[in-house]
Amino acid sequence: MSMDATMNPMAAAAAEIADMGASAVTADGDPIKMRGEKVCVHYGDKQALFDVDLDIRKRQVTALIGPSGCGKSTFLRCLNRMNDTIDICRVAGDITLDGMNIYDPSIDVVELRARVGMVFQKPNPFPKSIYENVAYGPRIHGLARSKPELDDIVAASLQKAGLYEEVKDRLDAPGTGLSGGQQQRLCIARAIAVSPEVILMDEPCSALDPIATAKVEELIDELRENYTIVIVTHSMQQAARVSQRTAFFHLGVLVEEGPTQDMFTNPRDRRTQDYITGRFG
């Protein structure tokens, strides 16, 4: 199923406008989905990010790695303005989605988050049934005109998240009753259900056991066909397994960014080398 077919009308219109304005490509020819330019973030007096320039390539998995407190999650949360909920947080610089500045006052943050979905570190299903968890997003955005249509969206989202076979007989059971790995895939299904273009994942496997982690990683690899994915991870093996591009952050600075293969075999920066070889972090 192609991306454009699942895109909701609102997002499709926005994407069209954006495509006319700027269909930017990187130097090596990959189309750019999101772009951060000179992104600085302050929490009160403390600066957490320093002039980060990072391109997120369309339909690729970009991994953000780095030691704790390096600003990778902060950058991730800037991409769908989740930092807005933190009072003391200030964001400077430009972040664009298909050429549109997402911090522009004319941008509706609700619309933005429908296009840039998010999966959190700890699985956080709502205390509702599995069906209601997935149907939540489509309902608030009015994506389904009828109950059968909504059923289809829910089933399709669960299928894409690789959870459908496990839960199809108990869609009315509470989502909180699933195992940790299933809960996280439910949260991914919930994010997919609103047909986002970009999915942000903030250490999605850190609360999961190895088997559940493997399933989620496999899923991320499949989702790459239709979605642009940005994933924050502490596990370098995970970054190596699932991502095409890797960005290494250290102390609020983007140290280096490049194809994952090169990054792990042939890092350009000394700090990157120290981190991936486990000298610190």
Partner 1 sequence: MFWTILLILAGLAVMAYFAGRSRSGQIVDGDYSKLHSRPSFHGGFLVIVTVLPASFVLVVWSIAAPRLIDSAVISQSASVVSGLGKPELDVFLRDARAIAFGGIVGFTDDAKEQAAELFKTYRSYSEVGMTVVMAALVALGFIYGFRKIAPRMRARHVVERTTMVFLAACSAVAIFTTIGIVLSLIFESLLFFRQVPVFDFIFGTHWSPQSAFEGAGAEAGDVNSEIFGAIPLLVGTMLITMIAILVAAPIGLLSAIYLSDYASRPVRAVAKPVLEILAGIPTVVYGFFAALTVAPAFRGFGESLGLSVSSESALAAGVVMGIMIIPFVSSLSDDVINAVPQSLRDGSAGLGATKSETIRKVVLPAALPGIVSALILAISRAIGETMIVVMAAGLAANLTVNPLEAVTTVTVQIVTLLIGDQEFDSAKTLAAFALGLLLFCITLLLNIIALRVVQKYREQYD
Q: Reduce the DSSP state of residue 136 to 3 states and report it.
A: helix
Q: Which is nearer to partner 1, 48 or 114 (CB)?
A: 114
Minimum Å gap between C-beta 48 and partner 1 is: 18
Q: Find the shortest distance in angstroms from Cβ 14 to partner 1.
A: 13
Nearer to partner 1, 128 or 224 (CB): 128
Q: Which residue's CB is nearer to partner 1, number 116 or number 276?
A: 116
| CA–CA gap between residue 98 and residue 115 (Å, rounded) | 11
Residues 174 and 202: beta-carbon distance below 8 Å: no
* Residue closer to partner 1, measured from CB, 42 or 128: 128
Nearer to partner 1, 32 or 114 (CB): 114
- Residues at the interface with partner 1 (CB under 8 A): 80, 82, 85, 87, 110-114, 117-120, 122, 124-128, 136-137, 140-141, 174, 176, 187, 190-191, 194
Q: Is there a contact between 175 and 186 (Cβ–Cβ < 8 Å)?
A: yes
Q: Which is nearer to partner 1, 50 or 126 (CB)?
A: 126
Minimum separation from the CB atom of position 196 to partner 1 (A): 8
Token pair 């350009």 in the structure block, residue: 268
Cα 113-176-218 angle, rounded to 5 deg: 65
> C-beta of 127: minimal distance to partner 1 in Å?
4
Beta-strand (E) ranges in the chain?
32-43, 46-57, 61-65, 89-97, 100-101, 116-119, 198-202, 228-232, 245-250, 253-259
State the minimum distance, in angstroms, from the CB of residue 109 to partner 1: 8
Q: Nearest distance from residue 76's CB to partner 1, in Å?
A: 11
CB atoms inside a 10 Å sphere around CB 258: 16
Considering the complex, state which of residue 209 and residue 262 has its C-beta at the smaller distance from partner 1.
209
Kindly state the smallest distance separating residue 126's Cβ from partner 1, in Å: 5
Sheet holding 32-43, edge to edge: 46-57, 32-43, 89-97, 100-101
Burial of 251 (0-12, 13-18, 19+ CB in 10 A): middle
Closest by CA position to 161, among listed 178, 186, 194: 186
Cβ atoms of residues 192 and 157 within 8 Å: yes
* Structure tokens, 173: 């059971």
